[in-house]
Chain A
Amino acid sequence: MDLGQDWDALNRTLYPRKKAKGSSESDTVFVAHHADRVLRVVGDRDDLLFSTGTPIAETLNAIGNSRKAVAIDIAEMDRAIAEALKTDGAIYEQVLRLREELKPSRGKLPEWVEHFLFAGVRSWWGKFLPSSFGVYLHLEGRENVETRSILLVFRKGELQEFDEPDLSAVSRERQSDLDEVVKILRERHRVPVQGFAMDRADFDAWSEAGNVSSTWKNLARAVRSHRVTMHPFRFGIAALVGARGLI
């Protein structure tokens, strides 16, 4: 049975919003230029917003050492966009391609940290995982934060289907048993499914941190302390998570 693709659910689950007041801040200033003239500056310094038309050297001097400057020629950006159009998949695949293609004329693109889930699936785990499988995330909310769940189906290492599963035909009693839910999803979508249940705040924090060793260490620790529960418990999967936490 086809799960479909709910981009909104995927985006909100994997890249949760952080609420903030005031104006946006950044330690990087982005400068789009054409030859030696500045066309657009994006950064958190209002004084730089009127740099359009100025020589790029002048703008970079004005930025000084207070921020990291990344300058890219628009011809380079147009070329990178043309390459991204040829890439299959969706925005996540296109962003990886764009990062490979873009060559800043000054500075370096800031480190971009992939979502830890995608990084795990695309890594050496691929040798141990089946060609098609599902990951069911049940993220428990608290107080004003709602509970979310999402099923991600990967085929040949690519995320193909993703949505909150429809459990309306399942009794409340069975819905509260996550092992049962995973069994239903496995039968319905004909792929092995591994379920993870955890506090939504934890998952949001790890998603924000991205694919860094501390994320995996925290996740491994959480599995050991049952702060993250696996449904069903598969020693192999726990070992993969644990091993990643050690690396």
Chain B
Amino acid sequence: MAAPGKTAIYPLQILVNYWELKPQRLATKLNQLMRQGITHIASFVPWQVAENDISHSLTKFLQMLADRKMSATLILSPEVGVHALYGGLPKDLAKNSEIQARNRDEQPAVSVLPPRIFAFPSLHAKEFTTRYHGFLTKLDGMIGDLGRTQPELLESLQLVLTGSFFKYYRPASGSQLAAFRGANGDRSNAAELAFRAELDQCANLREFMAGQGIVPKAKENEPFFRAQFQTNAEEHFRIAQSRQVRKRSVGVDVAQAELFTPEADPSLAYSNLFQLTARGMPDFPAFDRMIAEAATRQAMVGEARAAPVLHWTGFGPFTRLTDSEKQYLILKSLLLLGSRGGGLLLDEEEWFSLSNAFRKRVELFAETLLARELELETKAFCLTGHLWSDGKAVAQPGGSAAGGKDSASLFWPELRLTLDTQARLIASPEALAWEEESKIVFVESNVILTVEKWRKLVAWAEAGRVLVISKQQPMSGAVRADFEAAVRTRTKLDLNIGTRYFVYGAGEGKLVLFEPIPSSRPSEWKRFVASMLSLAHATPEMGANDPRIDLVCLRRGLAQGSGRAGVFVFNGSRSPVSTEIRFENEVAISDLSTVLSRLGGNGDPEASDAAESNRFELETPPCGVLPIAVNGLGEAGREKRIAGNLAGLTSKHAEEAASSELAGFSTGDDFSGIFK
């Protein structure tokens, strides 16, 4: 496996925690890994270990890597699934109930995962952040010193910073129906103080003081500002930690990631409890669902994307799954997250417990993903106030769901149903710039449009895209004035398909303003969302007729718009499933593994064994993954395929005519050479 490039995350990271092994064992382990072709590993750097690193184990580890020309990714942020008590946090901090995080039920937010069930500290607590920054400064100093004295040790080092515990500040009880249901985030004293301070700041901003905009300190507006506060706090945390490690360790690769550990997720807390206390079976379907949650949420750090990485631990319920279940989850995680610039973090012993054939297959896909030969397209964005909260619409008197003050997710559940993993949830408009092919953004009703956000959204839409917002969208006074001036002067289309909406021209794009409808009319809402997707040419190109099947479509050669894709058919159920896969137009399908292994050879790798139709019947085994190559997807792909077929036919007819009319002509001659 190759080392990642600058700030890129290699899709498959093998976890070997250097601090778990004494030097001799570590050396033996690294030698074993090299013999098996692994030259890059990942390791957590638990705070509790690094604070007391008397034996300078990290420096020795880096020396061992350099001696073997290996490279490593070090994950510095506090995380779960670390093989240390309290997630590797200093015990005095972890046990201090004064600085514990509180979920929205004002209870401790808990990680139910070995080696210890513990309550998360609040990342807002000053005592925590001050000490954490001190730890990062010490690490930065150590790495900076190495950079001066032994720069060769840092050449193949990558530091990774993550979003840490924020996404886990949710109650287990409220996460059972849907992992991120409800208005989540830290409600500890420290968080509340910080929230009030931010609210005061907003109230004093000119853009909120002017005009008819949303009032920051009005009680009914608190949910919107709270969502905004959570998002801002997470970004500030990330930026602050990034600054601490860039002071002296200049030139070292520092990447941002969003690390998901499904086994530690609150939605798995009760299943984990059962698994721990009764040796119950792991909750495989819940693990399967969490992969899509991780793949569809895009965290940002300023204008940079945090690469989504999924971590399967070497200590939790994942280890109790069967080999077939593990392989399914590993492949799905790798494909969905690797195709978005992220990847998979897997314990080394778990990796080598799997068959050689499977590991080779995974490595082939990892290389393909790293080379960006397979990419997950984003058809539609959904901008929300807080990435780790999905609300359900709360009906106001009068029954309007979309205008309800407590409503959060109107679009997201529908987009997930319609587009599955081709929909992307974001909390920052900066994410829009990263995926050119997406043509529409839906703005959830819990997003406060500030001047900066509004201008970014409009600029994006004006380049030929669609922006969908509510007539009752919360916005600052300055944006309200700007917005009303804009819609007053533009011509509009007034349409009603159960939901009344207005379409305005915005540069080369469109602004769609809709009127909220009662929550009792979900079919009309579905029709509206479908209509908007159609307006933006963002409708799904395929579907399966069995809900047990997940289809993941990864574009091949996205930049060229070639209409070629790798479609992976996932069956996470316990029985074989026969399903019909329908495409919106005729396509040719063949075995993807064969195609990928033929790439780089001569001729068309998909020529000989492709079947053509717009419907295919496929049987997928239980915990099975079927990879199929599809050619002719989408309008451009269909036209290209037809043109290719016609060109082939024309050439064949010309050769037949020449053979019959021209004496001495042979099809083996260089026909085209005559015309040079």
Knowing A74-B176, A166-B23, the reply to whether A42 touches B283 (Cβ < 8 A) is yes
Quick check: B279 and A91 within 8 Å, CB to CB? no
Output the least CB separation between A215 and chain B (Å): 16
Q: Does A241 contact B (CB under 8 A)?
A: no
Q: How far is the CB of B100 from chain A (nearest CB, A)?
A: 9
Q: How far is the CB of A44 from chain B (nearest CB, A)?
A: 7
Query: Which A residues lie within 8 Å of B349 (CB)?
Result: 8, 12
Chain A nearest Cβ from B536, distance in angstroms: 33
- Determine whether A94 belongs to the interface, using a CB cutoff of 8 Å to chain B: yes
Q: Is A39 on the interface with B (CB-CB < 8 A)?
A: yes
Q: Are A7 and B315 in contact (CB under 8 A)?
A: yes
For A19, list chain B residues within 8 Å (CB): 322-323, 353
Q: What is the chain B residue whose CB lies nearest that of A23?
A: B574
Contact A112 B279 (CB under 8 A): yes
Chain B residue nearest to A10 in the complex (CB): B115
Which among B84, B281, B623 is the interface contact of A42 at CB below 8 angstroms?
Answer: B281
Report if A17 contacts B (CB, 8 A): yes
Instruction: Tell me whether A85 and B117 are in contact (CB under 8 A).
Output: yes
A1-53 interface (Cβ within 8 A of B): 5-9, 11-12, 17, 19-26, 28, 30, 32, 34, 39-40, 42-44, 46, 49, 52-53
CB-contact partner of A44 in B110, B281, B321, under 8 A:
B281
A167–B22 CA distance with the chains assembled, in angstroms: 10
Chain A's interface: helix, strand, loop or mixed, by majority? mixed
Residue in A74, A78, A84 whose beta carbon sits within 8 Å of that of B117 in the complex: A84
Q: Is A70 on the interface with B (CB-CB < 8 A)?
A: yes
Docked-complex contact A81 and B112, CB < 8 angstroms: yes
| A110 contacts partner chain B, Cβ-Cβ < 8 Å | yes
Decide if A24 touches B281 in the complex (CB within 8 Å): yes
User: In chain A, residues 68-124, which have Cβ atoms closer than 8 Å to a Cβ of chain B?
Assistant: 70, 72, 74-75, 77-78, 80-82, 84-85, 90-91, 94-95, 98-99, 102, 109-110, 112
Q: How far is the CA of A61 from the CA of B281 in the complex (A)?
A: 21
**In chain B, residues 294-327, which have Cβ atoms closer than 8 Å to a Cβ of chain A?**
314-315, 319-325
Q: Is there a chain B Cβ closer than 8 Å to A202's Cβ?
A: no
Contact with B along A166-184 (1 / 0, CB 8 A): 1110000000000000000
- Are B116 and A94 in contact, CB atoms less than 8 angstroms apart? yes
Asked if B485 CB lies within 8 Å of chain A CBs, one says: no
A34, A78, A82: residue with the most chain B Cβ atoms closer than 10 Å = A78
Please classify how large the interface on chain B is, using the bins under 10, 10 to 19, 20 to 34, 35 or more.
35 or more
A74 engages B172 (CB within 8 Å): yes
Q: How far is the CA of A53 from the CA of B274 in the complex (A)?
A: 20
With A24-B325, A44-B574: A30-B114 Cβ-Cβ less than 8 Å:
no
Cβ-closest chain A residue relative to B115: A7
Q: Please tell me which one of the listed residues B21, B271, B286, B575 contacts residue A46 in the complex, with CB atoms under 8 A apart.
A: B575
Report the minimum CB–CB distance from A100 to chain B (whole Å).
Answer: 10
B396 shortest CB reach to chain A, Å: 24
Contacts of A74 in B (CB 8 A): 172-173, 176, 270
Residues of chain A contacted by B583 (CB below 8 angstroms): none
- 29 interchain pairs (CB within 8 A)? A7-B83, A7-B114, A8-B349, A11-B115, A12-B349, A19-B322, A19-B353, A21-B322, A22-B622, A23-B325, A30-B280, A40-B270, A40-B283, A42-B271, A49-B285, A52-B176, A53-B177, A74-B172, A74-B270, A77-B269, A77-B270, A81-B112, A81-B269, A85-B110, A85-B117, A91-B116, A102-B273, A163-B22, A168-B24
Show the binding face of A for B, using Cβ within 8 Å.
Answer: 5-9, 11-12, 17, 19-26, 28, 30, 32, 34, 39-40, 42-44, 46, 49, 52-53, 70, 72, 74-75, 77-78, 80-82, 84-85, 90-91, 94-95, 98-99, 102, 109-110, 112, 163-164, 166-168
